[in-house]
Amino acid sequence: MAYFWCTDHKAVEDEHGCRAEVRLGPYPTREAAEHGVDALHERNERLDAEDRAWDEGGD
């Protein structure tokens, strides 16, 4: 069974949940889906910091 994070409802759903456009995943477990959005936010923060450093002329 696959699990997804629904960005509309901010909740984990199975494959019978909301439409694909509002889901992240699939994740192998419910717990992985719950924390998948955290990993997404952490990655975005890291990439934003890299972009700022690039814009400021850093390495």
Per-residue pLDDT of 19-36, as tens digits, reads: 999 999 999 999 999 998
Burial 16-28 (b: 16+ CB within 10 A, else e): ebeeeeebebebe
Average pLDDT, the chain: 92
- Let me know the angle formed at the C-alpha of 25 by 18 and 8, rounded to the nearest 5 degrees: 35
How much is the pLDDT for 58? 63
Q: What is the mean pLDDT of the segment spanning 27-54?
A: 93
Q: What is the model's pTM? A: 0.71
Q: Determine the residue type at 8.
A: D
What number is the average pLDDT over the span 3-20?
Answer: 94
